[in-house]
Amino acid sequence: MSNVAFQTSTDATNVKSIEFKDGTRLTFEQAAKLIKKEGRLHYGPYIKNSVRPSTGVLEEWQECGNCIEPLWCYNPIKVKRLHNSWLTICISTENDRPSEETPEQICNRMVKYLRSWKRR
């Protein structure tokens, strides 16, 4: 492996796309379109009233069907897994930023956030 390839693969701030552990990729624009299509987002690492967080949309989370509280899915089935842990934390942190926003407003903010990555 060349030194340049190694440097690019380990440079967390040089992210050009969203990669998944199954080898698939999304551009930031494609990710923003998925979030926009979702229309509503929820805070946290779970599904509430069938509303997923941004990582849940990108990883295609599904309700497990075994949760004790029917309105909350604490152990969603994750069809895909984001490959870059650093980027996962960035997306989750922005999604979970404390505010009084509605699920629709969170969605709009996340669309803008993901599109901002295109210019980095």
Residue by residue, DSSP assigns the chain as --HHHHHHHH-TT---SEEBTTS-EE-HHHHHHHHHHH----SSSSEETTB--HHHHHTT-B--S--SSTTEESS-B-SS-BS-HHHHHHHHHHHT------HHHHHHHHHHHHHHGGG-
Task: Give the Cα separation of 9 and 33 in Å (integer).
Answer: 26
Beta bridge partners of 51: 48
Whether residue 96 lies inside any domain: the answer is yes
Confidence of residue 8 (pLDDT cuts 50, 70, 90): very low
The mean pLDDT value for 19-46 works out to 95
Q: pTM for the whole thing?
A: 0.84
Quote the tokens at residue 71.
Answer: 């309105």
pLDDT tens-digit series, residues 87-115:
999 999 999 998 899 999 999 999 999 99
Which range of residues forms the domain containing residue 108? 22-119
Whether residue 6 lies inside any domain: the answer is no
* Number of domains making up the chain: 1
pLDDT tens-digit series, residues 71-94:
999 999 999 999 999 999 999 999
Whether residue 9 lies inside any domain: the answer is no
